[in-house]
Amino acid sequence: MAQTGESEGTGLKSELEYIRRLTVDLRNVLRQQRELLQDQGFRLPPGTTTTLNDISKRLEVAGNRVGAMEHDIGQYRALADVAALINSSLDLTQVLNETMDTIVRLSGAERGYLMLRNEETGKMEFRIARNVDRQTLDSSEFEISRSIVQRVANSGEPVLTTNAQEDTRFQHAESIVSYSLRSILCVPLVLRGVVTGVIYTDNKIHAGLFTEQTLDLLMAFANQAAVAIDNARLFTQLRETLDEITEMKNLQDNIFASIASGVITSDLGDQITYINRRAQQILDIGEGALEYGGGLNDVLPPIDTRFNSLVEQVRDSDQPLIGIEFDTELERRGKVALSMNFSPLKDAHNHTQGVAIVLDDLTEAKRREAQIAGVRRYLPVEVVDGIRSADELKLGGTRRVISIVFGDIRGFSTFSEHLDPEKLVEIINTYMTIASDAIHQQQGVIDKFLGDAVMALYNTPLRPQADHALRAVRSAALMRADMLAYHQGVPPDERLTFGIGVHTGESVVGNVGSPERLDYTAMGDSVNLAKRLQEVAAPMQILLSDATYQLVKDYVDVNELEPIQVKGRTQLVKIYELNDVG
């Protein structure tokens, strides 16, 4: 359409020029034939040639105006094409390069700049800079009047100067003088009443280059450009947001795919919206069943009669349920133990959109726990729980100061002669349970049961204790008190008594035995002395060594006894009988 309009305008100008030439030719002919016509009796009206001359001049003026109009129409059509290009594309940099090239060409400027306001700092920043050769200018060539740019940015009004060197408005602008700027045209980019940027063009050589018509042209474009730039900015922000969302979604998928827990999400209609690979493995879900849009009951295997009601409860109450355990049986995996957390699935506005289920497979953990529970019945609990690696199962020990408690049933051999073995074991187990409870209450480690005797350790590497001597004495006192209390409820023929010895000293504590069979115990003279004290203790008597007494003397009531000679020692051993402990 632009080409048609231009051709029509060009045709009109040519027609006017053709008529003007005919008028001139007619005037010349009349001048040449005036005398001949007069001789033949014809007389031309007065002023005929003058009128034709005036018509010729008017036709010339009209042709020039048509030419100017054609130029203006061409500029507006070119600007309209650029505006259409801006509004049809969201690649702002490419479009604005074309735009600035068009503005420079139409206005006759040497250079054109487009600056946008930084939304954070509020300052104008260069976005596009082009010259008459359609080349992008680098920052070293940004020779503009910043005072004019700032004036337009602050006021929102355009600035047109035909000769900046002589314009009194800018006589104090150093950049105009130093850069030898002459013709300058600067217009604002205004969007919803706010100046978002400026378009700046100039020419160092020609004064009077820009006119009011050029200003109108550039203002028309600026109104279009402001909207297009805002659209492009919104599009860029939207694209960045979408990129972030996509990145977060990919990250979420990667996290869900790598974690050890299964993750399932469903909407308000119990339709599955997400299920990760681990959930598929735990619940033994085949590939064909993993189709989003399927219902929980369609995709998941039967888990428990409580499952659906729990999902409904969380969805309706908007409250999570944590640590719900299920024992179920799957077709291929057999019996499994599961733990599930049910939580409301909320959107950005905190509105519940469904339920999120996080499930963990406890099958192997419970199987191992059952096995370990059996081992704990034969080994000290601290030993079993303290094993973190195979290195801790090697032979060897650690030298350290510990406290040792030995307790032994008195008269057991005579007692056992009159009882059936089953009844005997039942009674012994009762007394050993009393002893074990007293030891555990003070965080002691039961080393072993030796038939009718028990050995306990305090301050082992598995359980360091600064007050180990006091804990050992308290265990012994509690053991005696609990046995006396037990005697009140049983027949006299089932009342057994203990002799107890307590000693503190240096021993080697660790794994003893062979690579095939280990025993966690303590060895050394200190252990021997504790056992010897137990051997000489009377029924229900607790004997303390001097080493133990010195550590607990502020907490105990004792009777100092005569030193004794014990097996394996040449020197007498100083001992104390425990009455009470605080």
What DSSP string runs through 343-354? EEEE-TTS-EEE
In terms of residue numbers, what domain contains 161? Answer: 89-236
The pLDDT assigned to 393 comes to: 45
Q: Where are the alpha helices (DSSP H) in 108-188?
A: 146-155, 174-178
The CATH number given to whatever domain includes residue 342 is: 3.30.450.20
Q: What is the pLDDT of residue 5?
A: 45
The amino acid occupying position 50 is T
467 & 418 share domain: yes
pLDDT of residue 388: 47
Contact 472, 444 (CB under 8 A): yes
pLDDT along the chain (582 residues), means of 10: 46 66 66 65 62 66 63 63 61 72 78 85 85 75 80 90 75 68 87 88 81 82 77 76 71 63 88 85 74 74 89 91 90 89 87 90 81 54 52 66 93 72 84 91 88 90 90 95 92 87 92 71 90 93 96 95 86 93 90
95 and 65 share one domain: no
Domain co-membership, 471 together with 400:
yes
pLDDT in the model for residue 473: 96
Residue 144: inside a domain, yes or no? yes
Judgement on whether residues 210 and 156 belong to the same structural domain of the protein:
yes
Going by C-alpha positions, the residue among 453, 454, 458 that lies closest to residue 441 is 458
Indicate whether 253 belongs to any domain: no
If one counts every other C-beta atom within 10 angstroms of the C-beta of residue 24, the result is: 17
DSSP-assigned letters across all residues of 141-163: G----HHHHHHHHHH---EEES-
The pTM for the full model equals: 0.43
Residue 179 and residue 139 share a domain: yes
Do 97 and 69 have their domain in common? no
Domain at 221, CATH number:
3.30.450.40
pLDDT of residue 90: 61
Dihedral angle of Cα 371, 372, 374, 379, to the nearest 10 degrees: 150
Within-domain flag for 161: yes
* Residue where a domain terminates, one of 74, 103, 128: 74
Same domain flag for 94 and 70: no
| 456 & 564 share domain | yes
The answer to whether 70 touches 6, Cβ cutoff 8 Å, is yes
CATH number of the domain enclosing 539: 3.30.70.1230
Task: Specify if 252 maps to a domain.
Answer: no
User: Is 356 in the same domain as 400?
Assistant: no
- pLDDT of amino acid 404: 95
Do 347 and 404 share a domain, yes or no? no
Rg of the Cα trace of the chain? 53
Residue 374 lies in a domain: no
Same structural domain for residues 309 and 430? Answer: no
The answer to whether residue 249 sits within a structural domain is no
Beta bridge partners of 498: 409
* Pair of tokens at residue 24: 């001139």
Question: How many domains does the structure of the chain reveal?
Answer: 4
Write the CA distances from 407 to 133, 240, 252, 582, integer angstroms: 106, 76, 60, 21
Q: Is residue 111 part of a domain?
A: yes
Among 27, 50, 74, identify where a domain stops: 74
Q: Looking at the structure, do residues 416 and 558 belong to the same domain, yes or no?
A: yes
In a domain? residue 33: yes
